[in-house]
Amino acid sequence: MDLETPIEFIKGIGPERAKFIRNVLGITTVEDFLTFYPLRYIDKSKIYQIGDLKQEPETEIQFKGKITDLQEIGYGKGQKRLSAKFRDETGTLELVWFRYSNWMKEQIPLNREIFIFGKVNLFNGNYSMPHPEIEVDEKKALYGSLLPIYSGSEKLSKRGINNKFFQNILSEITQSLPLLMQENLPEDLMKNLKLIGRIPAFYHIHFPKDFYHFEHANRRIKFDEAFFFQLGYGLKKLHQKTSVIGNPFPKIGENFNNFYENALPFELTNAQKRVLKEIRTDMKKPIQMNRLLQGDVGSGKTMVALLTMLIAMDNGFQSCMMAPTEILAQQHFNSIHELLKDTDIKVRLLTGSTKTSERKIIHEELLSGELAILVGTHAVLEDIVQFKNLGLAIIDEQHRFGVAQRAKLWAKNKIPPHILVMTATPIPRTLAMSFYSDLDVSVIDEMPVGRKPIITAHRREQDRLSVFRFAKDEIEKGRQIYFVYPLIEESETLDYKNLMENFDHITTFFEGKNVTMLHGRMKPAEKDAAMQYFASGKAEIMVATTVIEVGVNVPNASVMVIESAERFGLSQLHQLRGRVGRGAEQSYCILMTSDKLSKESRTRIKTMTETNDGFKISEVDMQLRGPGDILGTQQSGVVDFKKLDLVADGKIIKTAKTAVELLLTTDPQLTKPENLDMRNYYIKLYKGKNKWSRIS
């Protein structure tokens, strides 16, 4: 037997059953069984007392007492069930059997001290236990270790594939562990990180002697997952660093210095300075930069982007900056254009709605090198858009661009441009550490000074009048207000109708004020006009759907009312809220919801009212939705770990990352004798699965 042995060769499984197990559980080899980890464990070393039960217990538990009053009860259409009382010194519960034979009924031991074990249900204040396991032998009942419970189903049980079956098979397999696997981590590493061996870990994950053993086994197995995953990325990155050349930007020149000294409208925050230094260090090298810039909404990423582009320019290169939507691209263009107004640096905007005549100019100026900075949507990816010398590509909002699109940017220059990816939705650190291991990460973790945290409140329909009055007061003070409505995706028509009705309500209530509207059905030019009307201050109120989610910057808007807030995701709510709090005034975000909220909606709303920290919010979001959903479904497989939990295991992931970094600086080819077993394991692990598994 080895790890790849098909399961039909395991004692107790024939070809028939093997086929069934393969089909239902996807288990095909001995190794699959080994990594079919228990869902949980049962502690049979403890006897519970009925009188101590306060609620329905989560797990199966054991009692000691007597069965009495066994009887058959008819119910339904001629159906019968078997019922009995079970008493210990502290209370009584009901035992129930829905399926039983006469033989089984006769076997039930009455009026003598026995042990029962099973799941306790609470219904109408009464405790009951369906289909209890009964044990008369005290020695057998009190089992001195944790019993593994495997995920099963009725379908499987019918074929005899129940928990007992899994226990037997795994007991069989774990007996042979020393023949099946060998240690894959060097001794020193294990010692330093207090990791138990791989073989004991696999034994104790299935049959832990106690919780202490379980914890150690669990930690070791999680560590392996994190470690070898990071090792894969680490090697890939190393490979990239040494083979993908980039244009070195050694200089800081006139463009940067002039701007920095004469046009910078504010002092950079320390975080902005630090991040800029990290970027600059990267770009000095003749190696392509691949950096992720994380920063909360409003942390000032645009300025960092601009300064980075000025460095590119000082070194004789063009830059482009790409945003996922037309509105956002427009906003970026506006702010960059405004910041550069006292310089002679040329910047242009290219989107789907750019006029042909303008396009022609852009194409020409890009080729001649006259145009230093191009801002746009993915229109910039089109083949016809050719640069003289593209040295830097900045991508805003990573989530919406795929890897393929990144690759297209690479191809825009003979030597690929440096890449800076910016995300406005912070990604939980653990996720960034694992998923974006191929990117270096910079974090702006500090807001510009003088920002007042946005006050967020939860309100319901009955509070509407006071919410509207509050909004009116703010308008009287000279502020502007957003009202945001969710998109009803199933019905754009309904959505539109809904928005129109609300628009009417608002115009009526806020009589004499100018109300403008923004929604997905409008043409780009109409959207622009509506935005402009609001941004210029001519309209006090903007009624919008989520099209305003990204980028919109109107500093005088200080109140955002989000309608049906329970229908928005957390990161979306956070993004929306980021549209206020951009000026000097105290800003407010009011989350309107219906009275009835699901548990998850309540958590989302509560999180929003409690914190403004995008990183904290992303952590909660990941707990609610799981890492796969946060990254987008196509990418979820990438973080499909068996044991490792990206939400809870940040510490292990960090330890593994540090260990990988140390390893790759001391032995980048994994050729040291103490690392050979690791190397072999790694190669086997990624055999055929990964094109970047090359260690020369």
Region binding ligand ADP by CB under 6 A among candidate stretches 55-63, 66-74, 291-299, 597-605: 291-299
- The per-residue DSSP string of 290-321 comes to EEEEEE-TTS-HHHHHHHHHHHHHHTT-EEEE
Reported as type and span, the H/E element at residue 396 is: strand 390-396
| Cβ closest to ligand ADP, residue 302 vs residue 319 | 302
Q: 399 is written with which tokens?
A: 């989530």
Q: 408 is written with which tokens?
A: 């297209």
**Binding residue for ligand ADP, selected from 255, 269, 308, 572, defined by CB under 6 A:** 269
**Binding residue for ligand ADP, selected from 132, 208, 246, 295, defined by CB under 6 A:** 295
| Cβ closest to ligand ADP, residue 397 vs residue 566 | 397
| Cβ closest to ligand ADP, residue 297 vs residue 475 | 297
Q: Considering Cα of 615, then 621, then 627, then 628, what sign does the dihedral take?
A: negative
| Cβ closest to ligand ADP, residue 299 vs residue 546 | 299
User: x/- site string to ligand ADP, residues 483 to 512, per CB under 6 A?
Assistant: ------------------------------
Stretch 525-564 residues interacting with ligand ADP (CB under 6 A): 553
**Binding residue for ligand ADP, selected from 30, 347, 419, 424, defined by CB under 6 A:** 424
Residue 184's Cβ-side half-sphere holds a number of Cα atoms within 13 Å equal to 22
CA 687, CA 58: separation in Å to the nearest integer? 41
User: x/- site string to ligand ADP, residues 576 to 595, per CB under 6 A?
Assistant: ------x-------------
**C-alpha Rg value of the chain to the nearest Å:** 32
Q: 19 is written with which tokens?
A: 């086929």
Contact in structure between 438 and 236 (CB atoms under 8 Å): yes
How does DSSP classify residue 16? H
**Binding residue for ligand ADP, selected from 114, 297, 471, 646, defined by CB under 6 A:** 297
Stretch 46-75 residues interacting with ligand ADP (CB under 6 A): none
Closest contact distance (angstroms) between CB of 430 and ligand ADP is 22
Query: How many other CB atoms are there within 10 angstroms of residue 143's CB atom?
Result: 15
Stretch 123-152 residues interacting with ligand ADP (CB under 6 A): none
Report the DSSP beta bridge partners of residue 292. 421, 441
Region binding ligand ADP by CB under 6 A among candidate stretches 12-20, 148-156, 266-274, 379-387: 266-274
**At residue 550, what is the residue type?**
V
Q: Does 301 bind ligand ADP (CB under 6 A)?
A: yes
**Binding residue for ligand ADP, selected from 186, 298, 428, 614, defined by CB under 6 A:** 298
Please choose, from the candidates 633, 642, 637, the residue with its C-alpha nearest in 3D space to the C-alpha of residue 27.
642
Stretch 436-455 residues interacting with ligand ADP (CB under 6 A): 448
Q: Does 417 bind ligand ADP (CB under 6 A)?
A: no
Closest contact distance (angstroms) between CB of 332 and ligand ADP is 9
* C-beta contacts of 690-693 below 8 A and 24+ residues apart: 690/232, 692/232, 692/235, 692/236, 692/239, 693/232, 693/235
Reported as type and span, the H/E element at residue 85 is: strand 79-87
CA 48, CA 61: separation in Å to the nearest integer? 7
CA 281, CA 584: separation in Å to the nearest integer? 34
Region binding ligand ADP by CB under 6 A among candidate stretches 268-276, 531-539, 610-618, 665-673: 268-276
Q: Does 303 bind ligand ADP (CB under 6 A)?
A: yes
**Binding residue for ligand ADP, selected from 302, 325, 558, 612, defined by CB under 6 A:** 302
Region binding ligand ADP by CB under 6 A among candidate stretches 299-307, 407-415, 619-627, 669-677: 299-307
CA 593, CA 420: separation in Å to the nearest integer? 38
Strands (E), 424-535: 440-444, 455-460, 480-484, 515-518
CA distances from 408 to 326, 418, 438 (A): 19, 13, 18
| Cβ closest to ligand ADP, residue 334 vs residue 623 | 334
- Spatial strand order of the sheet with 455-460 comes to 455-460, 588-593, 557-562, 480-484, 541-544, 515-518
Q: Does 395 bind ligand ADP (CB under 6 A)?
A: no
Region binding ligand ADP by CB under 6 A among candidate stretches 211-219, 301-309, 452-460, 511-519: 301-309
Region binding ligand ADP by CB under 6 A among candidate stretches 223-231, 262-270, 383-391, 516-524: 262-270
Report the DSSP beta bridge partners of residue 483. 543, 561
| Cβ closest to ligand ADP, residue 296 vs residue 495 | 296
Q: Name the residue with the smallest CB distance to ligand ADP.
A: 300
Region binding ligand ADP by CB under 6 A among candidate stretches 92-100, 184-192, 297-305, 516-524: 297-305
| Cβ closest to ligand ADP, residue 268 vs residue 488 | 268
- Alpha helices by DSSP H, 353-420: 356-368, 403-410
Q: Does 268 bind ligand ADP (CB under 6 A)?
A: yes
Report the DSSP beta bridge partners of residue 133. 117
Instruction: Enumerate binding residues for ligand ADP (CB under 6 A).
Output: 266, 268-269, 272, 295, 297-303, 424, 448, 553, 582
